[in-house]
Amino acid sequence: MAKILALVDGSVYGRSVAGHAAWAASRLGLPVEIAHVLGRRIATDFDLSGNLDANARTNLLRQMADLDEQHGKLAQQKGRAILDGARSEVEAVYGVEVSTKLRNGDLLEALGDLEADAEMVVIGKRGEAADFAKLHLGSNLERVVRSSKKPVLVASRSHEPFDRFLIAYDGGKSANRAVDYVASSPLLKGLSCTLLSVGADTAENRSRLDAPVRRLEAGGFEVEARLQNGEPEEVIGACVESGKAGLLVMGAYGHSRIRSYVIGSTTAELVRRCKVPVLMFR
């Protein structure tokens, strides 16, 4: 059975990730699986020959092994506590089933297994190791968005109810996948939709919006289509704020400068700047 996969760590975004996952699950009628991945253990296989005598080397390795064991137990306890907290947030949403999973090893290796039957992956904008003072995005966010084969919902600092969303459209393949998903999925049904393209006001650019508008209208949406000139990150960010959109939907790749990379400079700036969640498609 499909599920919503929520990746949590010890950051302040954990509660929001759980809230966004519960929201998506309730809209889609799916269960939530919350996962926490423990990092690598302390390395004890380094070569000390020639640096220490045999007794000193044996003593050091024993201490390292004891420390690693203690570290592992504490990490397990911390991981369980993180999962229990996130579970409570999801269970507060009536009717959403939830399970938890604690994994060891590399995040991306675990993601490959965990997302196999997932409809969507939810992750926080910043992890516990991110530099909040400088508003840096979490390094795991970029790794997950680059690697995941599923839509990735990047949770904002808090989960707030919303009734309108904005699709940033550049005509690229991933932007069209975003449009197709929105049109065919119950996730955003009943919400107000704005389709925004950034470019000069030309007949060619205006006509580029015709096909996605028709696709969304066929899916039951009333669509406000807009074409505005300017810097993409400035125009899109301003429209999200002025239009009071509660969600930004965009493709992860495109043929325009908006999305040369999954988390390229402009895309990263949009994720960093927007205070709302961002749903990205490959």
CA atoms within 13 A of residue 121's CA, in its CB half-sphere: 31
The helix/strand/coil state of 120 is: strand
Residue 23 is which amino acid?
W
Which position has the token pair 């028709």? 214
Spatial separation of the C-alpha atoms in residues 209 and 220, rounded to whole Å: 17
Quick check: 262 pLDDT over 80? Answer: no
Spatial separation of the C-alpha atoms in residues 246 and 21, rounded to whole Å: 15
Q: If you average pLDDT over residues 121-143, what whole number do you get? A: 70
The helix/strand/coil state of 99 is: strand
Complete DSSP assignment for 145-179: HHH-SS-EEEE-SS----SEEEEE--S-HHHHHHH
Q: Cβ of 237: how many Cβ atoms within 10 Å?
A: 19
Q: Has this prediction a pTM greater than 0.75? A: yes
Spatial separation of the C-alpha atoms in residues 100 and 252, rounded to whole Å: 28
Q: For 106-130, what is each residue's pLDDT tens digit?
A: 889 999 999 999 999 999 987 665 5
pLDDT for residue 261: 45
The torsion angles phi and psi of 225, rounded to 5 degrees, stand at -95, 130
Spatial separation of the C-alpha atoms in residues 128 and 281, rounded to whole Å: 25
Element of type H or E holding 281: strand 278-281
Quick check: 251 pLDDT over 90? Answer: no
Distance of CA 239 to the CA centre of its chain: 21
164-280 topology per CATH: Rossmann fold (3.40.50)
Of the ranges 87-91, 168-172, 212-216, which is most confident? 212-216
State the pLDDT confidence band at 265, using cuts at 50, 70 and 90.
Answer: low
Structure tokens at 109: 């290796």
Domain with CATH 3.40.50.620 in the chain: 3-41+74-155, 164-280
C-alpha pair distances (Å), 72 with each of 41, 67, 186 = 7, 8, 42
Quick check: 75 pLDDT over 80? Answer: yes
Percent of the chain surpassing pLDDT 90: 57
pLDDT for residue 42: 58
Does 273 or 117 have the greater pLDDT score? 117
Q: If you average pLDDT over residues 263-269, what whole number do you get? A: 63
Find, among 36, 14, 155, 37, the residue nearest to 85 by Cα. 14
Does 135 or 173 have the greater pLDDT score? 173
Task: Specify whether domain 3-41+74-155 bears CATH 3.20.20.120.
Answer: no
Find, among 38, 57, 34, the residue nearest to 46 by Cα. 57
The helix/strand/coil state of 16 is: helix
